[in-house]
A and B are shown apart, each in its own frame.
Chain A
Amino acid sequence: MKTKKLLSFITAAALLITSVTGCSSKTSSEDVKEIKIGAMLPLTGDIATFGQSAKNALELLTEQVNKEGGIDGKTVKFVYQDDENKPASSANVTQKLINDEKVVALVGSIGSTCSIADGPIATENKIPMVTPTSTNPKVTTEGGEYVFRACFIDPFQGTVLAKFASEDLKATTAAILYDVANDYSKGLAEYFKANFEKAGGKVVAYETYNTGDQDFNAQLTKIKSLNPQVLLIPDYYQTVGIIAKQARTAGITATFLGGDGWDSPELFTIGGDAVNKGYFSNHYSPDDKAKEVQDFISAYKAKYNTTPDALAALSYDAGKILLDAIDKADSLDGVKIIEALKATNGTFVSGSVTYDKDRNPVKGAVIIKTENGKQVFEKKVNP
């Protein structure tokens, strides 16, 4: 008898709680004094430096915009949530930002696997989402109408790297070691392979590992015996550092190549000398003399006392693209904001941005050389 009463009480309480959280009210833009934008970023985890850079850039942007009076007189506020670069957590915090924080737009996430998970949630809730750095094409094709990005996509990045390998490094053989469980790594590997072979090169080894693996000796011994001139390691800086070290110990003398996942000072802390004399494709270089770049760098340096990396530049751009669209739309309604986003046409820190039919921007890339523990600008590549 007692348990039956307890059970019915719990059921009633549960129903009451769910009915309250189910309600969401759409606030009209007139009586809202601030523009709340959610940012799901990997503030901790295996790409923590990326998330931190993104947050720094968005905070700088918030400061600058609010000092000028905000957008249409409303202050801009970013709400940050940590997704640890785990897709399940990312989907979770995205939902939380939409339901609990009632944000009108989203900036994030950083890793492609997370953004691919977040996109459908944004579109379903009609909340515009701009990812600063996720380069895998699936983010927009699977994400839906409301998902945009501020960076180039991996098919382009793969082409840039393949071209650099065959034309600049004059390599005819390449090996690829990628993370089979990471959409970014996998995509970049595929696009590099396709383009390198189209340019006449031969991919002698196309090996994989799983996220979180520590021992790559089996794959590296295999690759060494095939003697490639170039080894592509399309992963994030933590793993790249470890693979590079093990590769050199295994006796591989090939030049290492990578993508924008390499962009972190920790690459050198972890990889040591093994990551020097390598090349990676990136979205911007601090050596670029363009006005937008130099203005951003001096503002960032003044606030944080360090040169911004591409993650910061792209996050700044993503935030700016979104705020410009909200300003132009003159509304906090998702439908109007995405129309304004589609019509974006401006020059930002990482280059000029106009959107194609898949909501991807057509932009250029830079090749960066790693030398003596530092990044050195090598060349610019236009689409």
Chain B
Amino acid sequence: MDFLNFLQQLINGLSLGSVYALIAIGYTMVYGIIKLINFAHGDIYMVGAFIGFYSVTLLKLSFIPTLILAMAGSAVLGVIIEKVAYKPLRNSPRITLLITAIGISLLLENGFRFIFGPNPKPFPEVLPAKIIYLGPIRIGLIQIIMFTVSMVLVLALQFIVYKTKVGKAMRAASFDTETAQLMGINTNNTISFTFALGSALAGAAGVLVGIAYPRIDPYMGIMPGLKAFVAAVLGGIGVIPGALAGGLMMGTLETFTKAYISTKLSDAIAFSILIIVLIIRPAGLLGKKTNEKV
């Protein structure tokens, strides 16, 4: 009985974690390339959810077109934010970029609240809420789809980053931007492409969450954004597989804490474990220690 309970909770944790992973990857990619923690990233996830919401309610699209439209919309938004807010500050001190990111975050949250109202909106049923039984274990069809879509997107991303020229450019630019430029790589386009990819993933996460937990509101990006940021750091910021691992870990850690320790302290314990991991391994679990060569 206990083992089955454990398995059920593991499934809960993994499906929750796959959402964090999708958002965390965006954080880590942007940090890897321009060393910026894009605090507005959680809100791009929120925008993706809203685009998905209106695609379903106004345009009456089905699941896959909604997902594609949300991803495209989020990608465009990400690129616009980069061009308007971050590019002009590329040579400014890091703290300026950080504050700008926070500003964009607040702008998105309150702007959406102003335009669409602060009332949470119920996401209509796009996918049937079927339950799949593996013996006594129940898995929601939506949970499976969430996990599967996340994995597919991550694999696609790995393909892009390691098997295409653009991916190579991304890796080069994140290693050393100036040298990459000297080698003839158009770093501006590469950076924009990175933002587009990261934002598309966040947008996909937003749609998936909107479908799985059918309630969206302009502030929904704050907590998941924070947890995904923690996940990215936990896995090693700047390392894409690290973000995936970190995301899944955060999800399962949160679920197991709620299940076996205490629901009241779940957030506190999850974040405390993060602190402990970072004290032991400051670069994160999969992070590489970079030595500053003088």
With an 8 A cutoff between CB atoms, is A352 at the interface?
Answer: no
A238 contacts which chain B residues (CB < 8 A)?
Answer: 120, 215
How distant is the Cα of A251 from the Cα of B129 in the complex, in angstroms? 13
With an 8 A cutoff between CB atoms, is A11 at the interface?
Answer: no
Given the contacts A180-B264, A219-B263, A45 and B118 also touching, CB distance less than 8 Å: yes
B267 contacts which chain A residues (CB < 8 A)?
Answer: 210
Taken residue by residue from 217 to 236, chain B's Cβ proximity to chain A (1 for < 8 Å, 0 otherwise) reads as: 10110010000000000000
Closest residue of B by beta carbon distance from A206: B263
How distant is the Cα of A242 from the Cα of B214 in the complex, in angstroms? 7
How distant is the Cα of A238 from the Cα of B258 in the complex, in angstroms? 22
How distant is the Cα of A218 from the Cα of B265 in the complex, in angstroms? 13
Closest residue of A by beta carbon distance from B119: A48
With an 8 A cutoff between CB atoms, is B169 at the interface?
Answer: no
Contact for B259 among A48, A209, A218, A270, CB less than 8 A: A218
Would A44 and B12 count as touching, CB distance under 8 A? no
Taken residue by residue from 205 to 238, chain A's Cβ proximity to chain B (1 for < 8 Å, 0 otherwise) reads as: 0011110101101110110010000000000001
Would B119 and A44 count as touching, CB distance under 8 A? yes
Contact for A221 among B8, B213, B215, CB less than 8 A: B8
Would B118 and A84 count as touching, CB distance under 8 A? yes
Would A221 and B263 count as touching, CB distance under 8 A? no
Would A217 and B214 count as touching, CB distance under 8 A? no
Would B5 and A214 count as touching, CB distance under 8 A? no
Would A269 and B122 count as touching, CB distance under 8 A? yes
With an 8 A cutoff between CB atoms, is A249 at the interface?
Answer: yes
Count of interface residues, chain B, beta-carbon cutoff 8 Å: 33
Given the contacts A209-B263, A221-B259, A250-B138, A214 and B118 also touching, CB distance less than 8 Å: no
A59 contacts which chain B residues (CB < 8 A)?
Answer: none
With an 8 A cutoff between CB atoms, is B140 at the interface?
Answer: yes
How distant is the Cα of A221 from the Cα of B8 in the complex, in angstroms? 7
How distant is the Cα of A208 from the Cα of B263 in the complex, in angstroms? 5
B214 contacts which chain A residues (CB < 8 A)?
Answer: 242, 245, 270
Would B259 and A214 count as touching, CB distance under 8 A? no
With an 8 A cutoff between CB atoms, is A46 at the interface?
Answer: yes
Would B5 and A46 count as touching, CB distance under 8 A? no
Contact for A219 among B129, B223, B258, CB less than 8 A: B258
With an 8 A cutoff between CB atoms, is B103 at the interface?
Answer: no
How distant is the Cα of A169 from the Cα of B1 in the complex, in angstroms? 28
- How big is chain A's contact interface, by range? 20 to 34
- B 111-149 contacts with A by CB, 8 A: 117-120, 122, 129, 131, 138, 140
With an 8 A cutoff between CB atoms, is B43 at the interface?
Answer: no
With an 8 A cutoff between CB atoms, is B9 at the interface?
Answer: yes
How distant is the Cα of A270 from the Cα of B123 in the complex, in angstroms? 9
Determine which residue in B117, B259, B263, B266 has the highest number of CB atoms from chain A within 10 A of its CB, and name it: B263
How distant is the Cα of A65 from the Cα of B138 in the complex, in angstroms? 58
For the A-B complex, the count of residue pairs with Cβ-Cβ distances under 8 Å equals: 74
Contact for B119 among A45, A225, A250, CB less than 8 A: A45
A180 contacts which chain B residues (CB < 8 A)?
Answer: 264
Would A249 and B131 count as touching, CB distance under 8 A? yes
A245 contacts which chain B residues (CB < 8 A)?
Answer: 129, 214
Distance from A345 Cβ to chain B, minimum over Cβ atoms (Å): 39
Closest residue of B by beta carbon distance from A239: B215
How distant is the Cα of A269 from the Cα of B119 in the complex, in angstroms? 14
Taken residue by residue from 136 to 166, chain B's Cβ proximity to chain A (1 for < 8 Å, 0 otherwise) reads as: 0010100000000000000000000000000
- B 83-101 contacts with A by CB, 8 A: none
Would B263 and A212 count as touching, CB distance under 8 A? no
With an 8 A cutoff between CB atoms, is B109 at the interface?
Answer: no
Would A217 and B120 count as touching, CB distance under 8 A? no
Given the contacts A45-B119, A208-B264, A214 and B1 also touching, CB distance less than 8 Å: no
How distant is the Cα of A296 from the Cα of B223 in the complex, in angstroms? 43
Given the contacts A46-B119, A212-B219, A221 and B12 also touching, CB distance less than 8 Å: yes
Distance from A94 Cβ to chain B, minimum over Cβ atoms (Å): 19
How distant is the Cα of A180 from the Cα of B258 in the complex, in angstroms? 13
Would A217 and B118 count as touching, CB distance under 8 A? no
Would A218 and B9 count as touching, CB distance under 8 A? yes
With an 8 A cutoff between CB atoms, is B255 at the interface?
Answer: yes
Would B118 and A222 count as touching, CB distance under 8 A? no
A269 contacts which chain B residues (CB < 8 A)?
Answer: 122
Distance from B141 Cβ to chain A, minimum over Cβ atoms (Å): 10
Closest residue of B by beta carbon distance from A266: B122
Closest residue of B by beta carbon distance from A47: B119
Closest residue of A by beta carbon distance from B4: A225
With an 8 A cutoff between CB atoms, is B200 at the interface?
Answer: no
- B 1-43 contacts with A by CB, 8 A: 1, 5, 8-9, 12-13, 16
Would A217 and B12 count as touching, CB distance under 8 A? yes
How distant is the Cα of A209 from the Cα of B215 in the complex, in angstroms? 16
How distant is the Cα of A170 from the Cα of B78 in the complex, in angstroms? 56
- B 181-239 contacts with A by CB, 8 A: 209, 213-215, 217, 219-220, 223
A221 contacts which chain B residues (CB < 8 A)?
Answer: 5, 8-9, 12, 259
Given the contacts A219-B258, A249-B131, A214 and B215 also touching, CB distance less than 8 Å: yes
Closest residue of A by beta carbon distance from B209: A214
A207 contacts which chain B residues (CB < 8 A)?
Answer: 258, 263
Could you list 23 A-B pairs, sorted by A, with CB under 8 Å? A44-B119, A45-B119, A46-B119, A208-B263, A208-B264, A212-B219, A214-B215, A214-B220, A217-B12, A218-B254, A218-B258, A218-B259, A222-B9, A222-B258, A225-B5, A238-B120, A241-B122, A242-B215, A245-B214, A249-B131, A251-B138, A266-B122, A270-B214
Binding site for B on A (CB under 8 A): 44-46, 48, 84, 180, 207-210, 212, 214-215, 217-219, 221-222, 225, 238, 241-242, 245, 249-251, 266, 269-270
The 4 A-B pairs at the shortest CB distance, nearest first, are namely: A214-B213, A218-B258, A217-B12, A218-B255
